[in-house]
Amino acid sequence: MIIGSKYASFPFILFACFCLLCFNSCDDKKKPDEQKQVVEVPLVKAPSFNEDSAYFFVEKQVKFGPRVPNSRSHVQCGDYLISQLKKYGTEVTVQSFVATAFDGTQLQSRNIIASINPAATKRILLSAHWDTRPFADQDTARQRQPIDGANDGGSGVAVLLEIARTIQADSLKPGVGVDIILFDSEDYGAPEWDEKEDNSKVWYCLGSQYWAANKHKPGYSAYYGINLDMVGAADARFAREGTSIEYAGSVVNKVWSLASRLGYGTYFIPAQSPAITDDHVFVNRIARIPTIDIIEFNQAGDNYFGSYWHTHRDNMSVIDRKTLKAVGQTVLQAVYQEEAPVVQ
């Protein structure tokens, strides 16, 4: 019998409600004695993330110029990233491939993979894209010119470079393996003015699509992944993105909880944002590694992202050291936290 059913008699409903109230009252009295207290896992000691160093890495990338595939700046910056990651003692794998863009352009591309503690069986994947947008299609001027991409591309890469440098420099090492993947050709999707867009496939995230289908090591997998995109703007807010929740909800909860405990709750907000297409989509769907996206969400504006997005305003003026610190320290803590004992 469904108590709310329109076929139930009124006296019976009153009696049933009375019984339900009594049951709940009795149950409440038992809870203090029977309910186990949830013990919060203590924070593992992790090295301090240096926001000044991360800021320098953003600036260094921007000085090369827009990192658009097939450009000289793209080649020079890629060589620099490989050199730095090798300098920090990581095992570097360069995955060269040719990606076909929406307009048929053949993009000379490189996914750059840096492995820390490569012998470890339990691994965490950290990723970002290192290329930049070839068009300023959200701008009102110079729309057909490439952007600096200080935040959209540069900030995520900078945070991961600083994480690699920090782990290498500190005597304290994580108990898990870490794979840093810098995806290429992420931001070469069709511009706003394109009227002949081919919707037969996703033209963004070409590097992560390639890697997910052709992993750098046969059978490679990871415990979970964290993708970083647009993580350096002043006063940025990071919501719980829809695809991340769908595929890796427990990882979202873990990372947002750590951010709060570290004092970065104003950056990592509890709100949920709509699902978006970013590199983590293909790591989840094709590579089948539960991966989340830490990406700026602009609750107040017309754009999902900040007003600088895909414009020439995406330059060093939008980058804030405090935001880089909040994201970098949170991700670093998540990696080191895998050593924490499981509290029963």
Q: Which two tokens stand for residue 5?
A: 């059913």
For the chain, what are the domain ranges? 51-186+202-337
The widest CA-to-CA distance across the chain, in whole angstroms, is 82
- Contact between 255 and 292 under an 8 Å Cβ cutoff? The reply is yes
Q: Which residues contact 314 (CB under 8 A, 6 or more apart)?
A: 147, 148, 149, 150, 151, 152, 308
> Could you tell me which residue, 49 or 196, shows the higher pLDDT?
49
> Is the pTM higher than 0.85?
yes
How far, in Å, CA of 27 to CA of 14, rounded?
20
pLDDT tens digits along 168-177: 999 999 999 9
pLDDT tens digits along 31-77: 444 445 556 889 999 999 999 999 999 999 999 999 999 999 999 99
Q: Which residues contact 101 (CB under 8 A, 6 or more apart)?
A: 107, 185, 188, 203, 206
Give the mean pLDDT of 129-144. Answer: 97
How far, in Å, CA of 117 to CA of 300, rounded?
42
Give the mean pLDDT of 308-333. Answer: 98
> Could you confirm whether domain 51-186+202-337 is CATH 3.40.630.10?
yes
Q: DSSP readout, 295-320?
A: EB--SSSSSSS-TTTTSTT-SGGGB-
